[in-house]
Structure 1
Amino acid sequence: MLKKLFKSFRFPLRRAAHPRTTPEVLSSRQHSLTRSRISRNAVNVVERLQQAGYQAYVVGGCVRDLLLNLPPKDFDVATSATPEQVRAEFRNARVIGRRFKLAHVHFGREIIEVATFRANHPQADDDEEENNSHSARHESGRILRDNVYGTLEDDAQRRDFTINALYYDPRTERILDYAQGVHDIKNRLVRLIGDPEQRYMEDPVRMLRAVRFAAKLDFAIERHSAAPIRRLAPLLRDIPAARLFEEVLKLFLAGRAERTFDLLIEFDLFAPLFPASAAALKEQPEYADKLIRQALINTDERIRQGKPVTPAFLFATLLWPALPARVLDMQERGMPPIPAMQEAAHQLISEQCQRIAIPKRFTLPIREIWDMQERLPRRHGKRADVLLENPRFRAGYDFLLLRESAGEQTDGLGDWWTDYQEVSDSERRNMIRALSSKDERSGAPRKRRRSGGRKRRPEPGGNPTGE
C-alpha cells in the first residue's frame, strides 16, 4: 500500500540523516497528500500568514500521518512569524510557553499550534550562555529553553526525527523534505536527524519519543539512532518530573501501550521512569510482567473501542508489583493490614512522584484502588453492601480481576464479587451466611464485638470513617 502513496518518487539508500540546506521538493503528483485532507482551519492559518508576507507550512506529525493514511491527532503550522506577530494577525491567538514559546490559534474546539522557525543552539561558552536570555543549556548538553528563532532550513535541521521534518504548502500542494523523511516513512524507520548521541543529550525525552513513534506507527528505530539509548537512558533522571508525567501519558494512551512497554524494557528506559516497578519485574518477572501486560492490553482495547481510560488505573497497575512486599514487611512489624496498605501506598507514591509528578487527582484514586484490595475480602455483616456502594468499588473490583488474571490466588474472591453484584438481596444474604458457615467449619477466628457504647479509636494511619 505504501508504494502507491509515493507514486513516481525514487529514493536512494542512505545511512545517516544529514539535513539538507535545499529540500527535496515533492509535487502533488509525487505524493498522496491532498489539500482537502488538511484541516480547513490549518489551511486558513497558513494562507493568512503567507498573505501577510510570512513563510508558513503545515508541518510535522500531521503530514507524516496523512502520508501513512492515518488520521492526524492535530495540525501544526511552522512559520517565519514570531509568536507576537502571529498574535497580531489573529485575534483568536494566544501566546503560550516559556521553554518553547509558540502561539495557539483557537477555532472553537480546534486549536492550531503555530511555532516559529527555530535554529540550533550555538555552542557558546558559559559566560555567553548565561547572558543569552533566549536559550540555555545544562552542563550535560540538555537544552533548557528553546526560543532561538531562525530560517526554514534551520528549523528543519533542529527537528528531532526525519519523519517529522516534512513541510506541506497547501497552496502549491508541495512537500518540502529536508532530511529524506519520506524515504524513512516508506521504509518504516524512526531516524534521528544529526548525531544521535548529541541529540539525545540535548533532550533525553527524545529517547521516549523514538519509542513512542516506533510503537504508534509500527516502525523500527534505525540502528544508529537506537545504539546509544541504553547507555544514555539514565539521563531521564534529570528531566523535570512534571514533564515526564505528560510524556508517560503519551506513551501509554496512544493505543499501542503493550508494544510501548516492550520497547521501554528492551532499551532500558522503564527503570528510569518506574524504578520500584522495574526492581519488582526482576524479583518476580512472571507475575509482574503478566499483570502489567494484561492491563496494557486492556487499555489498548478500550482505546480502540473509543472507551475512556483513566490514568489512575494505569498508574495503579504499573506501580502495584512493588507494593505487596512493602505491605507484608509492615505487617510483619506489627501493623494491621489496612493501615499497612495505606502506609506502603503513601511511601511508594511519594517515591514515584520524585520521578514522575503524578497529580493528586490521580494519586488519591490510586490509593483508593489499592486500599480496596484489602477491603474486598472483608465481606461479613453489612460490609459487602457498604463496599458495593463505594464509588471506587468498580475500579477496585476490576483491579482484583486483573490480579487474578496474572495468576494471583484469592480463593475465588473475584467470582464471589461477580456473583454478588448480579443476585437478589435475599441471595446476597445467603452468600454472606455461607461465608460465616465456611469460617466456622475452617475454625477461622471471628472478631468479638466490644461491649459498651464507646467509639473505637481508629488505628494510626487508618481510615477514620471506618470500613
Structure 2
Amino acid sequence: MATDATPEEVHAVFRNSRIIGRRFRIVHVSFGREVIEVTTFRGHHDSDSTPGKGKASSHSRQSDKGLLLRDNVFGTLEEDAVRRDLTVNALYYDSASFEIYDHVNGMRDIERRNIRIIGDPEVRFREDPVRMLRAVRFAAKLQFDIDQDTADAIPRCARLLGEIPPARLFDEFLKLFFAGYAGRTLEQLLAHDLLRYLFPDSDYEIRQDKVAMALVEAAMNSTDRRIQDGKTVTPAFLLAALLWPVADRLADQLHDRGDPPVAAMHNASQQVIAGAMGTLSIPRRFSMPMREIWEFQHKLERRKGRKAEELVQNRRFRAAYDFLLLRELAGEDTGDVGSWWTEFQELPSTQQLQATVDHTPPERTRRRRPRKRRPSAD
C-alpha cells in the first residue's frame, strides 16, 4: 500500500503498527497474522525535503558509487511512480475510484510480457544493486522476458551485489526461492550470471558438475511442489542442496588427507557454512539443521545394526532421508541405500534388526571430479 502520509503519520493512525528500516523507512501494520506494508510516496533525490512534511522526516544520501544509503525523500504519486524499480511494479489502484494509474507504461510492458527497469538501468542498478535480483525474480514469477537494455546493464553492475550486507541478501534469497518458482528463478540467475554473488562456490561447482546441477534443480523443483501443495518448507533443506556440492568435495579432500569420513564431513560442514556466511547471513536455526542433514548422509549409507532403528527415530531422519533420495535422483552413487531405507521403514519393528544383519553396507565409491581452475568473480 502506498500513501502521501509520512511514516510517522501512518504510525499515529494505527496503534498496531511499527516503523521499520533506516535506509528506506516504511510502516508495518499488523492485523492478526497479516501484516500490511505501507510506504510513503518517494520524491526525487535532488530535494532534501517535501513541502509541508519537514526536513526531519525526509532525507536521501548516496555513496560515491551511486549506491543509495538512505532514501526517505517524500513526494507525490507521480514522482513515486518514476522512482519505482520496474514498470510492471509501478501501477497504482485507487480503491475509491476503481482507477489504475500508470505513469511509466507498465500496462504496455505487461501486454508485451516484458520486465523493464524505469529510467537508465545502469544508474538504477547502481542506486540499489538488489534491483537486479528483483528483475530476475519478477521475470521468473511472471514468465516474462527481461528487456534488452535492462539485461545488458546487469553484467556491468553485477559485482555491486558484493557491497550489499549479507543480512539483506539472505532476505532476498528467501524471496527468490520460496514463492513457488524456485526452478525458474535458478535458471534466470544462472543465465544472467548472478548466482555467484549469492553462492559463489556453489555456482562454480554446479557449472562444472552435471550431477551437482541435477541435485540443485531437483531440490528447487521439490520445494516448488511442496509450496504448490500447501506443505511446509524450510530454507535449511534448500541451503543444504545448494551447498552440498561444495561440502561433499571438501569432505572428499579432507578424507584423502587422512580424516575419517565422519570427521571429514564435520570439518567440511563447518568450513563451508563459515564461508557462505561471508555472502549470506544464514541464521543459526537454518545452518544447524543443514549441517545435521549433511552429517546424517554417512550414517544412512552405513545402516548398521540397532543404529538403523535409532536413526529412524531421530528428528532429522526424514529430512536427511529425503535429501538422500534427491542425491540418488541426481545421479550420485550411494550404493542404492535409498530404496533400502524406504523398505526398512515399512518393516515391522521385529524384522528391522534382521534386515540390517542381512545387508552388509557397501563401501561408497567416491566420485572423482576433475578440478578446473576457478575464474575470478569480477
Count of matched residue positions in the alignment of Structure 1 and Structure 2: 356
Counterpart residue type for residue 170 of structure 1: S
Partner of 2:167: 242
Q: How many percent identity over aligned positions?
A: 51
One of 188, 192, 201 as aligned partner of 2:126: 201
TM-superposed CA distance for 1:170, in Å, is 1.2
Counterpart residue type for residue 229 of structure 1: I
Partner of 2:182: 257
Q: Is the 8 A contact 1:281 1:288 kept in 2?
A: yes
Counterpart residue type for residue 131 of structure 2: R
Secondary structure of the structure 2 residue equivalent to 1:175:
strand
One of 274, 290, 303 as aligned partner of 2:227: 303
Partner of 2:357: 433
Structure 1 residues 277-333: Cα deviation after superposition (integer angstroms, max 9, x where no partner): 11112331x111111111111111111111111100000001111122110111112
> Which protein shows a greater Rg?
1
Counterpart residue type for residue 17 of structure 2: A
Whole-Å separation in 2 of the counterparts to 1:235 and 1:113: 27
Counterpart residue type for residue 263 of structure 1: Q
Secondary structure of the structure 1 residue equivalent to 2:92:
strand
Q: 1:123 to 1:403 in 2, by over 3 A?
A: farther
Aligned ranges 1:17-96 → 2 under 5 Å: 77-96=1-20
Which deviates further from its counterpart, 209-218 or 151-160? 151-160
Partner of 1:180: 105
Whole-Å separation in 2 of the counterparts to 1:314 and 1:90: 37
Partner of 1:312: 236
Secondary structure of the structure 2 residue equivalent to 1:95:
strand
Q: Does 1:422 align with 2:350?
A: no
TM-superposed CA distance for 1:87, in Å, is 2.0
One of 136, 146, 160 as aligned partner of 2:71: 146
Whole-Å separation in 2 of the counterparts to 1:355 and 1:178: 36
Whole-Å separation in 2 of the counterparts to 1:136 and 1:419: 62
Structure 1 residues 18-53: Cα deviation after superposition (integer angstroms, max 9, x where no partner): xxxxxxxxxxxxxxxxxxxxxxxxxxxxxxxxxxxx
Whole-Å separation in 2 of the counterparts to 1:170 and 1:133: 27
Partner of 1:342: 266
Counterpart residue type for residue 291 of structure 2: R
Q: Is the 8 A contact 1:279 1:322 kept in 2?
A: no
Whole-Å separation in 2 of the counterparts to 1:432 and 1:121: 69
Instruction: Tell me the TM-score normalized by structure 1.
Output: 0.73
Q: Does 1:282 align with 2:199?
A: no
Whole-Å separation in 2 of the counterparts to 1:133 and 1:164: 23
Whole-Å separation in 1 of the counterparts to 2:29 and 2:341: 50
Partner of 2:330: 406
Q: Is the 8 A contact 1:143 1:203 kept in 2?
A: yes
Counterpart residue type for residue 192 of structure 2: F
Counterpart residue type for residue 177 of structure 2: F
Whole-Å separation in 1 of the counterparts to 2:47 and 2:93: 31
Structure 1 residues 83-120: Cα deviation after superposition (integer angstroms, max 9, x where no partner): 11122223333222212112222333332222111113
Whole-Å separation in 1 of the counterparts to 2:217 and 2:228: 17
Partner of 1:117: 41
One of 148, 158, 171 as aligned partner of 1:233: 158
TM-superposed CA distance for 1:138, in Å, is 2.0
Counterpart residue type for residue 216 of structure 2: I
Partner of 1:215: 140
One of 58, 61, 67 as aligned partner of 1:136: 61
Which deviates further from its counterpart, 202-211 or 184-193? 184-193
Structure 1 residues 239-259: Cα deviation after superposition (integer angstroms, max 9, x where no partner): 100000010111111111111
Counterpart residue type for residue 189 of structure 1: N
Secondary structure of the structure 2 residue equivalent to 1:140:
coil
Counterpart residue type for residue 136 of structure 1: R
One of 246, 268, 271 as aligned partner of 2:196: 271
Secondary structure of the structure 2 residue equivalent to 1:112:
strand
Whole-Å separation in 1 of the counterparts to 2:232 and 2:207: 31
Instruction: Tell me the TM-score normalized by structure 2.
Output: 0.90
Secondary structure of the structure 1 residue equivalent to 2:19:
strand
Partner of 1:18: none
TM-superposed CA distance for 1:426, in Å, is 3.0
Q: Is the 8 A contact 2:47 2:73 kept in 1?
A: no
TM-superposed CA distance for 1:123, in Å, is 9.5
Secondary structure of the structure 2 residue equivalent to 1:227:
helix
Unaligned runs of 5+ in 1: 1-76, 125-130, 443-467
Secondary structure of the structure 2 residue equivalent to 1:334:
coil
Whole-Å separation in 2 of the counterparts to 1:281 and 1:80: 47
Counterpart residue type for residue 268 of structure 1: D
Which deviates further from its counterpart, 258-267 or 221-230? 221-230
Structure 1 residues 347-384: Cα deviation after superposition (integer angstroms, max 9, x where no partner): 01111011011100000000000000111122222111
